[in-house]
Amino acid sequence: MRATGWIALYLAIVTLPLLVLLFGDDVPPGYEFGWDLAKALGFAAMSMFGVQFALTARFHAATAPFGIDIIYFLHRYLAIAALVLVLAHFAIFWIWYQDSLGELNPLVAPWHMTAGRAALLAFIAAVITSEFREKLHLEYGLWRFAHIVLAVGGFALAAGHILGVGYYTEAPLKRALWLSFTLSWVLLIVWVRIVRPAIQQRRPYRVSEVRQEGDDAWTLVLEPEGHRGWRRFQPGQFAWLTLKASPWLTKEHPFSLSSAPHQLPTVEMTIKDLGDFTGTISETKVGDRAYLDGPFGIFSYQRVPRAEGFVFIVGGVGITPVISMLRSMAHEGETRPVWLFYANPDLGSALFKDEIDTLARQLNVQVLHIVQEAPPDWTGHTGLLTQEMLEEEVPEELRQKLHYFLCGPPPMLEAAEAHLTALTVPRRHIHAEIFNL
Ligand SMILES: Cc1cc2nc3c(=O)[nH]c(=O)nc-3n(C[C@H](O)[C@H](O)[C@H](O)COP(=O)(O)OP(=O)(O)OC[C@H]3O[C@@H](n4cnc5c(N)ncnc54)[C@H](O)[C@@H]3O)c2cc1C
């Protein structure tokens, strides 16, 4: 219901200003259908671009029904849809009303027409650099900075273009409406880029311990400094971590919370050395400053309280949200059955192995390691997760009733989803956390 409510709100935000501008007593005489359509497409695109800022503003109430990965997924495809609308807006003028476009040369063209063209270029650049970031070898931090500049700059230029053209916004009331609409998006940007980092700045965390877990992963133990920290989170959720940097610099990275809620106000994150930022985690010192933005996410067994049991299918560092859930289950005296399929290159790389064995003795958990390189006396599963492994371990009569939580490398998630679908597990019983937004 909440999800439907948010979708309805989205449609209202995109269409309402359009309707108000197109209808009423003071509508200027339209040239004809094509002319009005082109204008309408421009307004709709502008509203959609405005909502893009809200989608990535990480409002808890709006992200909770969907999960933040779905929100980012929407952000991505709605941006493409909005760009198609802007291109159509431009194309209609270019094909049928070329005279109205006037001079291209910015030195002689009216400023608002140049602003419109620059906005179009900024939106195209924002979409292309996002869609092809990896192919263009754009480093994530640089891409993110450029994305913010292109999006905010493009939006400001487009707003200037609309007000400068002044066609449907000429009447004072409509102009006021469009101005307040634009202002609300500006306030949203101010909230995301200025106010929220300021709030984070006042709620710092201190690294109180750095624990090495295996060869290339470290757990950071974080304590709130000068405040009480979070009051609650659901095991399996994640947060954005800013480490040794100001929250204004947008150098944040998402990590699952590997600790459980009963350990609050202490929060732990277990981070594997995989790249530029994570490669520096081992250099973290006790006393280092950190900031958290969270908790987020819907990857938690607590969201399905009526489930008859759980199957965790994880690969490598994908264990982090699951160890949080197992710790929480042990604390709460969970008695429902749990299967943990835990895939790793070899047994030595399995994070939290000893603790998982201890938790398995307290809980009703079957731990099923899957290793690619098996030791000589190995009697467990080898290779990659297969449908046969699931059939062998999870009793048939329970398969459709259990809830499945998947976290690991994308190919593993895809394979696991395909196996579960083949075993006729209902889609709503499959929950996946993707470690790449
Ligand atoms: C919901 C979620 C939970 C996660 N939980 C964990 C965890 O518990 N433990 C763990 O080790 N890893 C976790 N990750 C993955 C972790 O966020 C990335 O490995 C890390 O941000 C990579 O940064 P890097 O600079 O070291 O890598 P790079 O090699 O520079 O980047 C590798 C890729 O990681 C992504 N990435 C890089 N920087 C960011 C950023 N600031 N924000 C988002 N994505 C970025 C990009 O797709 C990039 O191409 C999680 C990711 C998500 C989305």
Q: Where in the chain is the domain with CATH 2.40.30.10?
A: 205-296
Residue 243 near ligand 1, beta carbon < 6 Å: no
Task: Classify 105 as helix, strand or coil.
Answer: coil
Instruction: Name every residue whose Cβ is closer than 8 Å to that of residue 368 and which is 6 or more positions away in sequence.
Output: 339, 340, 341, 342, 380, 381, 389, 393
Tens-binned pLDDT, residue by residue, of the chain (437 aa): 777 888 888 888 888 777 766 666 666 666 678 888 888 899 889 889 988 888 888 888 877 777 788 888 889 999 999 999 999 999 999 999 888 888 888 888 999 999 999 999 999 999 999 999 999 999 988 999 999 999 999 999 999 998 888 777 777 877 787 788 888 888 888 888 889 899 999 999 999 999 999 889 999 999 999 999 999 999 999 999 999 999 888 789 999 999 999 999 999 999 999 888 999 999 999 999 999 998 999 999 999 999 999 999 999 999 999 999 999 999 999 999 999 999 999 998 999 999 999 999 999 999 999 999 888 888 899 999 999 999 999 999 999 999 999 998 889 999 999 999 999 999 999 999 988 77
Which protein residue's CA is at the shortest distance from atom 29 of ligand 1? 275
**397, 389 in Cβ contact below 8 A?**
no
- pLDDT at residue number 434: 85
Predicted pLDDT of residue 404: 98
Residues of the chain with CATH 1.20.120: 2-200
* Per-residue pLDDT, 129: 97
CB of 403 sitting under 6 A from ligand 1: no
132: Cβ below 6 Å to ligand 1?
Answer: no
Residues in Cβ contact with 26 at an 8 Å cutoff, skipping those fewer than 6 apart: 170, 171, 173, 174
Ligand 1, pocket-test mutation among 249, 276, 436, most atoms within 8 A of CB:
436
Cβ atoms of 401 and 337 within 8 Å: the answer is no
Distance 267 CA to ligand 1 centre (A): 18
Per-residue burial over 197-235, b if 16 or more Cβ lie within 10 Å, else e, is: beebeebbbebeebeebbebbbbbbbebeeeeebeebbb
Contact 352 CB / ligand 1 (< 6 Å): no
Q: At what angle do helices 33-55 and 172-190 cross, to 10 degrees?
A: 30
pLDDT at 66: 77
Distance between Cα 276 and ligand 1 center (Å): 10
Pocket test residue of 72, 252, 253, 351 for ligand 1, highest count of atoms within 8 A of CB: 253
Any ligand 1 atom below 6 A from CB of 220: no
Q: Is the CB of 317 under 6 A from ligand 1?
A: yes
Fold of 205-296: Elongation Factor Tu (Ef-tu); domain 3 (2.40.30)
Residue intervals in the chain for CATH 3.40.50.80: 303-433
**CB of 383 closer than 6 A to ligand 1?**
no
Distance 140 CA to ligand 1 centre (A): 10
Residue 326's pLDDT is what? 98
Q: Is 349 in the pocket of ligand 1 (CB under 6 A)?
A: no
Q: Does the N-terminal peptide bond of residue 265 adopt cis geometry, omega within 30 degrees of 0?
A: yes
Ligand 1, atom 28: nearest CA belongs to which residue? 275
- Select 303-433's CATH number: 3.40.50.620, 3.40.50.11900, 3.40.50.80, 3.90.950.20: 3.40.50.80
Written out in words, the top-level CATH class of the domain with range 2-200 is mainly alpha
Query: Which residues, in sequence order, are CB contacts of 5 under 8 Å at separation 6+?
Result: none
